Amino acid sequence: MLRWLHGAWAVFEKDIKLELRSRYAINTMLLFVLSALFLTAFAVGQETLTPRIESALLWIVIVFAAALGLGRSFVSEQERGTVLLLLLHTQGGMVYAGKLLFNFLFVLGLNLLAVGTFVLLLGVQVMAPGLLLTTLVLGALGLAGATTLLAAIIARTATRGPLLPVLVFPMLIPLLLAVVTATRHALPDGLGWAAVGNELLTLVGFAGVVISASIILFDYVWYD
C-alpha cells in the first residue's frame, strides 16, 4: 500500500513540477477564465441578472476552461515520450490517482479564481459562502474524475485535445444541473442549505461513480 501511495505521489509531483515549468494549463485556464468573464461583464453592462443565470454563466466558463486545460494531461506524456517510463515503473492505478489529484487541485483552483473574478466583476453577493465552497469542491472532484479518464482515452487518438470538450459535455449534464442549482441557492434569494440536499447527494454520487468506474476501466485504457 505504501509503495502504491508513493507511486501515485511521484506521478502527482512530476506533473506539478512540469506544469510549473511550462505553465501550459495554468496560462490556458487563466486566459480563458479572465477573457470569458470580462466579456460577460461587458455584455451584461448594467443589466440585472437572475441568480440562476449568474450560476449558469459561471459554470459554463468553469467547464470549458477545465476541458481546455486538462485535455493535455495525458497528451503531454505522449509528446514528451514519458509514457514508456510510466509503464515500466508504475501501475495504472498509480498513474490515475496521481493525475486525478493533480487535476482536482487544478480545477479547484480554477473554481476559486472564477468565483472571485465573477463576484468582483459582476458585483454578485454570496449569501451562503459555506454552501458555495462545498459546491465548488464537489464540482471540482466530479469534473476532475470525468476528465481524467477521457483525457487518457483521447491521448491515443489523432485529434487529441479538441475531442475532450465534445466527449465530456454529455457526461457532465447531471453534474452541471446539480452545481448550477446549488450555486443559485448560495446567492441572493436562494434558500441555502435547506434546499440543496438532493443536489449535494447528486454531486457526491456523481463523483463516486465516475471515479470508481475510472479506477476499474483505467488499466484497459492505459495498457491497451
Structural domain containing residue 20: 2-223
Predicted TM-score of the model (pTM)? 0.86
Cβ contacts of 207-214, under 8 Å, gap ≥ 24? 207/138, 207/141, 207/142, 207/145, 210/142, 210/145, 210/146, 210/149, 210/171, 211/100, 211/141, 211/145, 213/149, 214/96, 214/100, 214/145, 214/148, 214/149
The total number of structural domains that make up the chain = 1
- Can you give the pLDDT of all 224 residues of the chain as single tens digits? 777 788 788 878 887 887 777 777 777 777 878 888 888 778 777 777 788 888 888 888 888 877 777 766 776 666 666 666 666 677 777 888 888 998 898 888 888 888 888 888 777 788 888 999 999 999 999 988 888 888 777 766 655 555 666 777 788 888 999 999 999 998 887 788 888 889 999 999 999 999 998 888 887 877 76
